Structure 1
Amino acid sequence: MTPNGNALRLLAYALAAVDHGSLRRAARAMRVRESSVSRNIVKLEQHLEVQLFERDVRGVRLTEPGRAWIDVVRAHYEGLLDAFDDRVGDKDAKTLRIGLCCVRGGEFLRGIIARFGSLYPDVSFSIEDVPAGRWLSAIRRRHLDLVFTHDFGAVPSCCSEVFWHERLFVLLPASHSLVDRPVVAWSDLAEMCLLVPVGPEGPLFDLRLLERIAATGGPAVQTCRANQATVALKVQLGEGFTLAEESCARTTAIESTMWKPLAGQNSVSSIRAVWLDSNPKRSVLRLVAVARNRAGDTPSNSGTNAARPGRST
């Protein structure tokens, strides 16, 4: 293998597998076949004469030699990407760049932003949606300062904390028999179709949550090349149901439908903040402190007991 763009391409496959913990999820994020990810990782391992990954039915994880090599190489790789990125020098130190990955925000996020604004009025916010396959790279390359996403556990080479929880609600046709129940379980919906809107960057819901639901006898999942408004129309027409977090369901009324809270396993979404410890902006840690304080002052959130935040690196 010559030291050219092909080496960088092979490394990109390996880093995607590290970040997603699965060849399948890495392939989905990179928009290639799973076999392509596997084949290119094998090429890299053969070139290095090192086994980077252990593979089993649950996914992939780094071997000890693989972890040591990845830890050294990642910083150089992402630094090289930044060297070719003309946006690197355009980062405003007085702006906090927040990413939301499959998260709509909710009262907790609005509250910490309002509190932060009262304490540090000279700092502004830039808030944007970020695809599931890109948020980690965006943090590491400092295109985003902090991302709120569903709880995937500890994030390699980043700091993270779970700050709040939201119950999940399902949107049902108003004529459906389940609307008379105070709560519903996934087993009640097993004969229905869960409609998942898919945008240009992939599904708008947490894919891991959907996989857990499917694995526990839940409803069939049907992806729709449509926005959320079109999916709501499909619900009105009786083609299935969709879901959202409580902060969205409580504030969004849709004619001829009803929101019903879920109960039982996989009925609560935990929201984790992820940031880079080496980010030079003081405002990042200040925002984390505000969120930590608010989480400690909130005994419950959306009907769910708030877990004590735990930091991981």
Structure 2
Amino acid sequence: MAGSKFIPDRGLTARMVTTMALLGIVYVAFIIALILVGLPWPVVLLIVVGFALFQYFTSDKLTLYAMGAHEVTPEQAPQLHAVVDRLCAMADMPKPRVAVADTDVPNAFATGHSEKNAVVCATTGILRRLEPEELEAVLAHELSHVAHRDVMVMTIAGFLGVVAGFLTQMGLRFAAFGGGGNRNNNGPSPAVIALAVVVVSGVVWALSFLLTRMLSRYRELSADRAAAYLTGRPSALGSALTKITGDMARIPSRDLRQAEPFNAFFFTPAFSKSGFNMGQLIATHPPVEKRLEQLAAISRQLGTGA
């Protein structure tokens, strides 16, 4: 965050370093375990390293594509670019690319593995609903993710879960449809190897899931604080949060289900109105009440009442 005027957050930095260190240990153990259960080490390295490089360098493009978002020029979205320009000048940070997602789900997110390829995206739903000062507060929240580099950390942290999930699915399918092979050289049968991969991958997925969710909740509070202090209007962010959360109930379930996989990157999570969701068990965001309480405290501290 060198050069940025967003307030530093040592707690966030410590949590990011700790999360990456723990995930690094899990990552190495994952590779060793896959080799020990019988997968050839060249195959393991190809899968793990291949996924890592692919997700790291294409995360911004994949996220924009999955959300139906597209980059916009200053001529196409002059008001949106003007807000981003003003905030980047206030924060003394490089301007990221700007995108718009054509969906009525009112939200915003930032993605990209570095400041150079970062993208800040707003949905058409949030652009229609928020007042200018509310939109500015939300975009300040998203820009703080870029400045704090926690978008990059979440991208790296998330890939381990993707690999583990992929291997779990492949192992289950192989055990179900192709696991009747014979033992080779008195070793375990293919079905046993497949089930062992499933167990190892499942444990790794659970660990990476827990670690990234813990980091995700804290980084949202940190981004709220940074945005509130940068704009000097914590109540504008609180107003946007309240408005967006309330309007989620009026969004079609189909749209919410499509957006749910990206909750960890959103300003506020999109939960479908039917069925079980992980937000009830392990949330990507802290409770709205906690976020509003923090913003109210900052407002009192600033003495603005704004």
TM-score band w.r.t. shorter chain: under 0.3
> With structure 2 as the length reference, what TM-score do the two structures score?
0.25
> With structure 1 as the length reference, what TM-score do the two structures score?
0.24
- Hey, which of these two has a bigger chunk of helix by percent? 2
- Hey, which of these two has a bigger chunk of strand by percent? 1
